[in-house]
Amino acid sequence: MNFIDRFFKISARGSTVRTEFVAGITTFAAMSYILAVNPIILSQTGMDRLGLVSVTIIATVISTIFMGLYSNLPVSAAPAMGTNTYFAVIICAGMGLTWQQALSVTFYNGIIFLLISICGVREKIMKSLPQPLQVALQCGIGLFIAFMGLQHSGIITANRETFVALGDIKSPQAILTLLGFCAMAYMLAKKIRGAIIYSILAITLASFFVKTGGEALAQVPEKIASLPSSISQTFFALDFLYPLRDIKAALPVIFTLLLLDLFDTIGTLVALCKRMGIDTDKSPDIKKAMVVDSSATIFGALLGTSTVTCFVESATGVEDGARTGLASIATALCFCAALFFTPIISAVPDFATAPALILVGILMMGGISGLNVKDPAEHIPAIFCMLMIMLTFSITKGFAFGVIIYVIMMIATSRIKSITAPTWILFVILSLFLFFL
């Protein structure tokens, strides 16, 4: 136990082994929806859906273990939501690429990503971010997470006239979400460790007994365990030579994937580190996390899934006290168990994790105190960035708007000299990304 404490610097970071494990389980609970969602999305391309469940788990386990051991940060990695939709809907259905060709461009995107991570380019971009945009990333991701939770619970629903509207708050799902949210907030205020996982478990158990339309909100699984599905269809099935055969078509796709991965990862790491009080300018763990993140995309493509990256739901574990890579190891162990206990994991309804997402999002919004609201050149781009991250459901697109507005505001207030060279480069690249890709 002393070796574990020294290796992960648990005591030095003010944590305990128990806290790290509980927080790791919390992160797993918040991420577990990826086990169902990623296979559903990617199977639209013709890939085997059952095999994709195993692929998703294995990719998550490998990348999260290496993240914990190498970077010693409580960050988990899995196939990225949003990018998997881009993979299936835009690259395959829209552009006509086979899933084997789509995996190949994902693979080469990971290779390029790894090279610029090793060279420190990603780290320099992160360090060059203006303070208002760092705050915007943390708070914007907070809004994004909270909005996801409100959607999962049915408290907020789609509306043809107003786009979003208040859902049926008298529904059992909404009521359980609100009760779970209040209980979780109470436990956090009382500094009770494990508040988030306790709430998720309580809502899941309640959903077995609460009925609507004559049926329980969640079904008790018929069996506890099952054997993992084979990954033989997708394992090393990518078309390695496709980009060389059609470089004109492949390059724009690789570039787009690179941008999506780059700024999603930077945004997530900035938000999580700021929440943990880690100085992104000084921590050597950040570069390590980026190297693992890019490597994860490479072996994820070899296994047969879209881009693997840092998962923003890691914030739930951070709020539950995670401060070291041991929490990531705990999360990975939970995903290992999921290979054989998929029926139990599948029994947890979406709305059971909704209170955690809502509360964590609200807590992350606390970073807005670092914003100078008296300076329009700071708070206008920052708040616009926050809103766009939430409303576009994309960290990259929201961040792009923030950078563009920031540069415009600096010019408008005669502070053009304060715009650093990396910020100018980001301004040009992200402008092209928004308006031409």
Parallel/antiparallel/unpaired status of strands 308-310 and 77-79: antiparallel
Judge whether 271 lies within some domain. yes
The neighbour count for residue 429, using CB atoms within 10 Å, is: 16
The amino acid at residue 9 is K
Low-confidence ranges of the chain (pLDDT < 50): none
The number of domains in the chain is 1
CA–CA gap between residue 403 and residue 273 (Å, rounded):
20
Residue 403 in tokens: 């950078």
Report yes or no on 135 lying in a domain: no
Express each pLDDT in 225-264 by its tens digit: 788 889 999 999 999 999 989 888 888 889 888 888 888 8
Listed residue (189, 197, 145) closest to 327, CA to CA: 197
- Return mean pLDDT, the chain: 89
Residue 24 included in any domain? yes
Q: 50 lies in which domain range?
A: 2-129+222-347
Distance of alpha carbon 266 from alpha carbon 426, whole angstroms: 13
Please, are residues 147 and 156 in contact by the beta-carbon 8 Å criterion? yes
Give the start-end residues of each E strand in 167-224.
211-212, 215-216
- Any domain includes 365: no
DSSP letter (8 states) at residue 219: P
For the chain, how are helix, strand and coil distributed in percent, rounded to 5? Answer: 70, 5, 25
Q: Is residue 273 within a helix (H) or strand (E), and if so which, with residue range? A: helix 247-276
Q: What whole-number distance in Å separates Cα of residue 177 and Cα of residue 204?
A: 11
Asked if 310 and 269 count as a contact pair (C-beta separation under 8 A), the reply is yes
Whether 336 contacts 59, CB under 8 Å = no
287 domain-assigned: yes
Q: How does strand 215-216 pair with strand 211-212? A: antiparallel
The Cα–Cα gap between 258 and 396 comes to 11
Residue 178 lies in a domain: no
382-385 long-range Cβ contacts below 8 angstroms, 24+ apart? 382/132, 382/133, 382/135, 382/136, 382/139, 382/406, 383/136, 385/133, 385/136, 385/137, 385/140
Asked whether residue 286 is assigned to any structural domain, the reply reads yes
Residue 174 has a pLDDT of 94
How much is the pLDDT for 124?
78
Backbone angles phi, psi at 295, to 5 degrees: -65, -35
Which tokens sit at 393? 């459901």
- Taking the C-alpha atoms of residue 360 and residue 343, their distance in angstroms, rounded to an integer, is 27
Is the Cβ–Cβ distance between 307 and 108 less than 8 Å?
no
End-to-end Cα distance, the chain: 51
Q: Residue 84 in contact with residue 41, Cβ under 8 Å?
A: yes
**Is 315 among the domain residues?**
yes
Task: Answer yes or no: are the C-beta atoms of 395 and 389 closer than 8 Å.
Answer: yes
Nearest to 225, CA basis, from 343, 51, 332: 343
3-state SS, residue 12: coil
For residue 188, give the nearest of 315, 356, 365, 21 by alpha carbon: 356
CA 323 to chain centre: 17
**Which pLDDT belongs to residue 7?**
93
